Chain A
Amino acid sequence: MADLSATMTGPRGAKPRRVLSGRNIMVYGTLIVVSLYYILPLWVMVMTSLKGMPEIRLGNIFAPPVEVTFQPWVKAWSEACTGLNCDGLSRGFWNSVQILIPSVVLSIIVASVNGYALVNWRFKGSDVFFTILIFGSFIPYQVMLYPIVILLREMGIYGTLWGLVLVHTIFGMPILTLLFRNYFSSLPEELFKAARVDGAGFWGIYFQIMLPMSLPIFVVAIILQVTGIWNDFLFGVVYTKPDLYPMTVQLNNIVNSVQGVKEYNVNMAATLLTGLVPLIVYFVSGKLFVRGIAAGAVKG
């Protein structure tokens, strides 16, 4: 039998005994093969971004650069043009940050409260609202473009930062609410009941009991929202003004330039630069993600 002394926080499977057991070869072999599939495109992107255009035209995409150049990175960050503005991705970086922070914060607050209310403070029709919300997650964004324009116009926040934050909150709500609802419903109900008996109210229980136990799910929510909002192009460009355009508008220009010569090296550098913020969030939160859940209050 496998070792039973595994701690509560550790992985669940049987403990490996020998380094070269058949099981280990199977597990690591599979993971390494799969990892190759995941790494291959990153390899291509990084290698391409370090090559000059002549080398890209000649060589194969998997080969490392013969002559390493950082010019594509410099160009992507500070020189690539969008129309007449030639200051690359740097132009939109702070705008993206400015959009990202309030959007992530607001959408997660709203969704976590939703999930909490749906699990612990059920009201008449709450199932119906939740079902509609899930339905909402399937609506293609393009379909809602015009109705939202009208909505924001009537609210008088069309073209403002807050209009965009609202849009991100709305479209983030379905999936996030689902996540929080599932998470809160996995928490032992006794905790909630005990707090109620102690006389704690809606917000009291939320802040004192639910929040401290919810780090893992917040990490998941942050990952989802940072990725989605940071990579969003459509909403950012439709619902704001040019002085608020996010970084993806410049990325779109660099990657999507339909006419003229495609500079693949700059494309890839721009892509990697734009992806850095979500990537960093992943690297930082990756440990929290699993450790948080493993050590989490799930078992109560």
Chain B
Amino acid sequence: MKTLKLATALFASVALPTVALATELEVTHWWTSGGEAAAVAELAKAFDASGDKWIDGAIAGGGSTARPIMISRITGGDPMGATQFNHGQQALELVEAGLMLDLTDVAEAEGWKEKVFPPSLLDACTVDGKIYCAPVNIHSPEWLWLSNKAYADAGIPVPANWNEFVASAPALEAAGKIPLALGNQAWQSNLAFGAMTVAVAGLDVWKKVNIDKDMDVAAGPEIAAVFAAAADARKLAAKSTVQDWNQATNLVITGEAGGQIMGDWAQGEFQVAGQVAGTDYTCLPGLGLNAYLSTGGDAFYFPKLDDPEKEAAQKRLAAQLVSPAVQVAFNLKKGSLPIRGDVDLAAANDCMKKGLEILASGNVVPSGDQLWSPDVVKQNEDLMVEFWKSDMTAADAQAKWVENLKSGM
């Protein structure tokens, strides 16, 4: 017994210096809801377990509140150790200004190029052939969430795709339901339109507009059909008066609304409400028409710090974020999809599995955040929120939309 105690004491005295050497890294992010915080805790746990120290710098209010703060601190010369951004162009200028740490050596040592799937996620981190961010998850916005209860109340079967959903709307209205729940905030209108573009116009058209940036197609009849469909859809959402997306989801949960177009994060709300996919609610990726998902998500960037010790810790953290164990633990809590195809998510629920299947089959497209500048995205949000909440004609909206896209080229 004594020897054991002695050994422990000895070990402690030996171990102490290593504890003291633990490098502290402040990590800023805007994940503050219950599920999100639990997911971040997994990241912190893994980082602390490897001997470093995660100092949490959460800022609530979403990216639009948090990003100015992060950017100010980086440009103000008081940067954090690591910070969340969405994949794509949000941090591009900070990288170009030489304020961000080059992670290429980490990426090569860890074989990110072979493992990160879909590869577009890593492309979004790459500037001039160098890698500047560690992707952590995939979120796809193209989901239609349906309330089984609302349809049971109306006495009609749950639709299997967007077209059936539109056809079922009169019956829902007759039963006193709001057919389509839609929050008032601008990004939600834009998300709904984006989801409808892939679903209604199909993948080829989508690619021509967003990847090849073919403005003739954007002004053409296929997209006009999407605007016409959206003009119909806005009538279905006319009675929806909530603000936040989760309030809209709540209308679906309680059966007051038939459905909502929202990203895969909505399933967290259904889970919290104790609902089961298939029996209480139905999820239709790609709105049930074209099972394609766009793959946006979150990534961590590491500002340059004049401290070799911290830099080493930053690289350790980067490697860890992409590692299989952290990916599984983090994404199960977050309800998002992992950024590598070689991990096992047996614990995922039905909707998540549907997403994984689509991902595995390769039916993925990059997200708008990666293809268009935040400026274009914002202009489209402004346009869409006006279009969905007014009687603006489809033709006018399309013309303005094309103009917005052109401003980003």
Residue numbers of A with Cβ under 8 A of B are: 81-85, 145-146, 149-150, 152-153, 158-159, 237-239, 241-242, 249, 252-254, 256-262
Contact = CB atoms under 8 A, between A and B. Distances in A.
Interface stretch (B10-18, B25-33, B106-114): B25-33
Q: Among the interface residues A83, A85, A256, A262, which one has the most CB atoms of the partner chain B within 10 A?
A: A83
B330 to A, nearest CB: 13
Interface stretch (B70-78, B158-166, B174-182, B345-353): B70-78
Contacts of B26: 242
B7 interface: no
B77 A84 contact: no
Nearest to B265: A259
A193 B149 CA distance: 83
A259 B33 CA distance: 5
Contacts of A261: 34, 246, 269, 272
A158 B265 contact: no
Contacts of A260: 33-36, 246, 268-269, 272
Which residue among A84, A146, A149, A238 has the maximum number of chain B CB atoms within 10 Å of its CB?
A84
B78 A159 contact: yes
Given A158-B76, A258-B61, 6 more contacts: A83-B58, A84-B58, A145-B72, A241-B78, A256-B65, A262-B244
B37 A81 contact: yes
Question: Sorted from nearest, which 3 A-B pairs have the closest CB atoms?
Answer: A83-B58, A260-B33, A253-B60
Nearest to A84: B56
Interface of B: 26, 29, 31-37, 40-41, 44, 54-62, 65, 68-69, 72-73, 75-78, 244-247, 265, 268-269, 272
Contacts, number: 98
B41 A238 contact: no
Nearest to B35: A260
B56 A83 contact: yes
B40 A84 contact: yes
Given A253-B58, A258-B61, A258-B62, A84 B37 contact: yes
16 contacts: A81-B37, A84-B58, A85-B58, A146-B72, A149-B76, A242-B55, A242-B57, A249-B59, A253-B60, A254-B60, A258-B60, A259-B33, A259-B246, A260-B36, A261-B269, A262-B244
A123 to B, nearest CB: 35
Q: Which of A82, A256, A257 has most B Cβ within 10 Å?
A: A257
